[in-house]
Amino acid sequence: MSGPAALSGVMPTLGTMRPDDTAAATGRGTFPGLITREKEPLNLEFPFPTLEAPLVPTNRFYIRSHFPIPQLDTTSWRLHIGGEVREELNISYDELQNMPSKTVTATLECAGNGRARLTPKAKGLLWEQGAVGNAEWTGVPLSALLARAGIKAEAVEVIFEGADQGEIKEEPKSPGVIHFARSLPLAKANQGEVLVVYLMNGKPLSPEHGFPVRLVVPGWYGMASVKWLHKITVSATPFEGYWQTIEYAYWRREHGQPALTAITEMQVKAEIARPALHEVIPIGQPYRIFGAAWTGESEVTCVDVSTDNGSTWQPAELLDASTPFAWRMWEMTWTPHAPGRYTLMARATDRAGHTQPTEHTPDRRTYMINRISAVEVTAQ
C-alpha cells in the first residue's frame, strides 16, 4: 500500500480489513485501468471494451463524484435516522456490522452514461459506454433500519444525504453549499434489495466508493445509491432537492405538457464490448461478438444483434443465469465473408417488454441514454 500518510483520517480504523486495491482507489493514487473524465471532483470511466466477466473488480469500477471525496473514519461516523419516525436513531459502524446482513449482486449505471454519443455535444460529463459496473454489495437491508426507527403513517419518501458537500457554481446554481442528497419513495425504500452497504466485492468500501457506508439501490440509476451516507430522513412530502429536479430529472409527458420528473429505474440496454469501434476483423473466420445487457427492476430476456446496420437481427446467446438486478453477459459468433465496412448493433429486451429506441428523445435531456448504438468495424 502506498501513501498511508494521505489516508491518516481513515487508516486507523481499517486494520486488515482494507481491500488489496486501496492504493489504486484512494483518489490520491492512480487508476491505471480507468479513463479520467474529470479529476476534481473525481470522475473515472471503465473502458467498456475491456469487459471480461460479470463482476467488475473494485479498482476498475467507474467512479462518479459530485464534490471532493470526504475523509471519514468509522470511529466518529454515525448514521442518523430521523424525520417522520417514532424514534430517532444514531447508528455506529460497529452496530451496523452487528445487524443481520445481506449480499446482492447489482449493476449500477450512471444516468448520464453514453452522453458522449449525443449530438449536438451535450453539457455535462461526456461518458462513453463505461459509466456502468456490476459488483457484489453487502450491508443491512434499509427496511430493517427503517423498521427499527418506526415509520409514521404520514411518511411518503425517504431522503438520503451524503457527507459530500460543495457548491454548484454553474447555472442553475445551488443555494450555497449543499450536500448530495436523493430520495426514494417509501415503497422502493422498503424493498428487500435496497441495502445500507459497507462491503463491495467482499471488502470494505474504498473512499471513492463511499467509505464507510453507502446506499445501494438495485434497479435504479447510480444517482440513487448515495455514497458517504450519514443521514436518512423520513419525509411526509415528496423531496424536490437539487439532484431530484435540476440534475437527474427528465421531462415526463402529462396532459401533453412536459413535467420535470426525478429519474428512477435504469432503462434496458445492451452494450457491445467487442469488437471495439473501428476494429479490423479477418474475413472467413468466426468472430465472437461479446457484451453485456442490463435493465431496471425487470430482467433481460433477450439480446438481438445486427451486423448490417439494423436491417436484420439474430438472437445472441445469454451466457449466465438471470439474477435480479445484475447484468448478463452475452455473445454471438459472426463470420464476415466479404471485405468492407460493417455496422454492428445490439438490442436488449426485458421481461416487461421494454426494448431500446433508435433515437434519443430530448424529453430525456442528457440522461437515460439507451438508444441502440452502432459499432463500425472493417472486415478484411
Residues binding its own copies (CB under 8 A):
82-83, 123, 159, 161, 171-176, 178-179, 181, 233, 235, 237, 239-242, 244-246, 249, 251-252, 254-255, 257-261, 361-363, 365
Q: Between residues 28 and 252, which has the closer beta carbon with respect to its own copies?
A: 252
Q: Cell for 278? A: 473501428
Which amino acid appears at position 81 of this protein? I
Residue number with CB closer to its own copies (363 or 376) = 363
State which residue, 191 or 235, has the beta carbon closest to its own copies: 235
Write the secondary structure of the chain as one string of H (helix), E (strand) and C (coil).
CCCCHHHCCCHHHCHHHCCCCCHHHCCCCCCCCCEEEECCCCEEECCHHHCCCCCCCHHHCCEECCCCCCCCCCCCCEEEEEECECCCEEEEHHHHHCCCCEEEEEEEECCCCCHHHCCCCCCCCCCCCCCEEEEEEEEEEHHHHHHHHCECCCCCEEEEEEEEEECCCCCCCCCCCEEEEEEEEHHHHCCCCCEEEEEECCEECCHHHCCCCEEECCCECHHHCCCCEEEEEEECCCCCCHHHHCCCEEEEEECCEEEEEECCECCCEEEEEECCCCCEECCCCCEEEEEEEECCCCCEEEEEEECCCCCCCEECEECCCCCCCCCEEEEEEECCCCCEEEEEEEEEEECCCCECCCCCCHHHCCCCCCCCCEEEEEEC
Residue 97: CB minimum distance to its own copies, A:
27
Nearest-approach distance from CB 213 to its own copies, in angstroms: 19
Q: How far is the CB of 244 from its own copies (least distance, A)?
A: 8
State in angstroms the smallest separation of the CB of 106 from its own copies.
Answer: 26
Taking the complex as a whole, how short is the minimal distance between the CB of residue 179 and its own copies, in angstroms? 8
Which CB atom, from 140 or from 181, has the smaller least distance to its own copies? 181
Question: Which is nearer to its own copies, 94 or 171 (by Cβ)?
Answer: 171
Q: How far is the CB of 380 from its own copies (least distance, A)?
A: 42
Query: Nearest distance from residue 240's CB to its own copies, in Å?
Result: 4
